[in-house]
Chain A
Amino acid sequence: MKKLNIIIIIIITLLLSSCVDDITESSLVGNENYNLEPLLTVEQPISSSSQGDTTEGLETVIVNVDEIDWKVAYESTQYSILYRDVPDEMIFPLYGFSVEGNCTCNIGAKTRYMYVVFFNEEYYDIIDFHQKYNNLSCDFLDELKIEYYSCESD
């Protein structure tokens, strides 16, 4: 009888774990056409450089992404969004990316610098990950207090 109970428990556990997998995969439906590559390196400002008085912004070096002291901005059973602070004097290129395909909320290079996604033991660029799994929305950015820009004409 005991053996039967153990077998039943094992079967139930296996069934439940497969259900969890189903939930995870069904709620993160990927765009098959988008080739998502893990993020291996990121830019890190260096505090001192021989840039001279007439140079603005911050010089950066390329470091492995896991060398950064990331903090958790959002965590779910599927993935995490990690962040780091941005020095005020850093200058970013000002291209934009519209999260919902209209002009209600746009993010860009600064967001990319600040946030990464941690998923299946790999780091990913936040915009690339969204293009694969469509996980961001304006409400979600609000919830996470991620800075974004709206159209002035709206």
Chain B
Amino acid sequence: MKKIFCFLLLVLLTVTSVCSVNAASVISDYEIREQRQALALYEFDKLWNDEQDSYLFSTTFGGAYFDANDILHINFKSDFEQEILNTYNFEEMFEFGFTRYSIKELHEAINIILEYSIEYSISRVSIDDTKNSIIVTTKSNNGDLKNILVKMLNIENILIEYEASEYETLYTYSITNGDFYLINGYNCTVGFAARNADGDAGFVTAGHCVSETGSTIGEDIVIDGNTVGDVDSYIFQNYSSADAAFIDLRSEWWWSPRWIPSKNLVFNNSYQYLNTSSSYPVVGTAVAYYGDGNHSSIQYGEVTTSSMNAWVSGTLILNLVETDIVLVGGDSGGPFVRTIYAGGGQYYKYVQGVLSGGNASNSVYSTVYNIFYELDLSSY
């Protein structure tokens, strides 16, 4: 009997120690990754700032992305391979490659596709830098759409995705990021669109909007008097790297309107991407907070601290980004957005994170990267 007890104790101790090592290694892996990316991004930012307006760079740049090993790939249009090789002497930290199309060409194609968005029930168009492709999301299961677009645009790298049929209904309304919502009588702000691990669509907001308002999982979310969804998951606890919640958009009754997330921002703006990993919040970077004016409206400022830990009331949240934008009660959960020039006269808005807290001179936000990590979310 004693031997069995000792054996069980040994197993328990082993499991406990393995769990502890895993928890510690997650944090250190993240830090290592952050450092590796920061160095490459520093060099890339220099290249970008120096060359973004040059004709050769802006017409041949084919996208950039980190691979799973955190190697930064920078691509150029293959037709200009010799010219690029003669002009640029890249550092070892970049993996230099060639693609069929430049980002400028893909953007021009997107502008044309958007003109046909109603005709082909297109709900979203984006660029996949890793595949040098355009991704078209449609609500219509039209098998010819790819051929139609390839012929129209003379671009072959087009991927068609079909949106789930549950959203193909006349009574469908989009959620606007930056709008305020009610939770248990309190108000907070919509951050950005996302999906949970089950693939359910919804939006991200601040986690304390759930925990500090006497709410919990399943609490109704109300916008303009309509119950649009409920709390699916949230985190606001010591030593977490995000203050975030995911709201699953659901209809209250089967006959009531359906609500879908969107990339719309208040005041007729929209964002194109979420900053999921490939950018470091450099101090001095211009950022904007998007609110609908019920609390704050659009506010402009800059990053004052790239990564910091902060006591938000009594809760220590790690790896927040600090800005000099001063915000007020009700703004929590709203999006911080950075506008990036992508060459060829194109500007893109990247959502950086959602508001957590603030005082009389600063505000802090949780980054998209950390929110996705903590709540197991992905881009919508």
Q: Which residues of A pack against B, CB within 8 Å?
A: 43, 51-52, 54-62, 88-98, 103, 106-111, 113, 131, 149, 151-153
B360-380 vs A, Cβ < 8 Å mask (1 yes, 0 no): 111110000000000000000
Q: Is B308 an interface residue (CB 8 A)?
A: yes
Query: Which residue of A51, A103, A109 contacts B313 across the interface (Cβ within 8 Å)?
Result: A109
- Chain A CB within 8 A of B149 CB: no
Asked if residues B312 and A92 are in contact (CB atoms below 8 Å), the reply is yes
Q: When A and B form their complex, which 7 residue pairs have the shortest distance between CB atoms, in order from nearest? A: A108-B329, A96-B330, A57-B311, A153-B293, A96-B329, A93-B208, A60-B314
Q: List A contacts of B322 (CB < 8 A).
A: 56
Which residues of chain B are near A51, meaning CB under 8 Å? 309, 311, 316
- Given the known interface contacts A94-B358, A152-B293, the answer about A59 and B331 at a Cβ–Cβ threshold of 8 Å is no
CB atoms of A109 and B314 under 8 A apart: no
Q: Is the interface of B mostly helix, strand, loop or mixed?
A: loop
Q: Are B313 and A60 in contact, CB atoms less than 8 angstroms apart? A: yes
B311 contacts across to A, CB distance below 8 A = 51, 55-60, 90-91
Q: A55's closest neighbor in chain B, by CB?
A: B309
| Chain B residue, CB-CB nearest to A96 | B330
Which residue in chain B gives the minimum CB-CB distance to A44? B314
Q: Which residue of A54, A88, A95, A151 is within 8 Å of B208 (Cβ)?
A: A95
16 contacts between A and B (CB under 8 A): A43-B313, A54-B307, A55-B316, A58-B311, A60-B311, A90-B311, A94-B327, A94-B358, A95-B206, A95-B330, A96-B331, A106-B187, A106-B295, A111-B329, A149-B330, A152-B293
B360 touching A88, Cβ below 8 Å: yes
Contact residues in B for A95 (Cβ distance below 8 Å): 186-188, 206, 208-209, 212-213, 329-330, 332
Given the interface pairs A97-B329, A106-B328, the reply to whether A151 lies near B212 with Cβ below 8 Å is no
In the complex, what distance in Å separates the CA atom of A55 from the CA atom of B33?
A: 21
Q: How far is the CA of A89 from the CA of B360 in the complex (A)?
A: 8
* New A-B pairs, 10, CB < 8 Å, besides A94-B328, A95-B208: A56-B362, A61-B314, A88-B359, A90-B311, A93-B236, A96-B332, A103-B295, A111-B329, A152-B296, A153-B292
Residues of chain B lying within 8 A (CB to CB) of residue A108: 328-330
A93-B313 in contact (CB<8A): yes
Q: Inside 8 A of B187's CB, which chain A residues have their CB?
A: 95-98, 106
**Residue B41 interfacial (CB < 8 Å):** no
Bound: A90/B358 CA distance, A:
8
Interchain nearest-CB distance for A46 vs B (Å) = 10
Distance (Å) between the CB of A76 and the closest chain B CB?
25
Task: For B312, list chain A residues within 8 Å (CB).
Answer: 57, 91-93
B240 is an interface residue with CB less than 8 A from chain A: no
Instruction: Please report the C-alpha to C-alpha distance between residue A91 and residue B243 in the assembled complex, in whole angstroms.
Output: 13
The answer to whether B316 touches A94, judged by C-beta atoms less than 8 angstroms apart, is: no
B364 touching A96 by the CB < 8 A rule? no
Contacts of A43 in B (CB 8 A): 313-314
- The residue of chain B having its C-beta at the shortest distance from the C-beta of A86 within the complex is B359
- Closest Cβ of chain B to A151, distance in Å, is 5
* Assembled-state Cα–Cα distance A110/B305 (Å): 23
In the complex, are the beta carbons of B297 and A153 less than 8 A apart? yes
Interface pair B295/A56, CB less than 8 Å apart: no
Contact with A along B312-338 (1 / 0, CB 8 A): 111010000010000111111000000
Residues of B with C-beta under 8 A to A59: 311, 314, 316
Is B310 located at the chain interface by the 8 A CB criterion?
A: yes
The smallest beta-carbon distance between B309 and chain A, in angstroms, is 4
Which partner residue on chain B sits nearest A131 by CB separation? Answer: B185
- Chain B residue numbers with a CB within 8 Å of A107 are 329
A126 to B: closest C-beta gap in Å = 13
Contacts of A152 in B (CB 8 A): 291, 293-297
Residues of B within 8 A of A62 (CB): 314
Output the least CB separation between B219 and chain A (Å).
13
B295 touches A151 (CB 8 A): yes
B158 on interface, CB distance cutoff 8 Å: no
Task: For A96, list chain B residues within 8 Å (CB).
Answer: 186-188, 295, 328-332
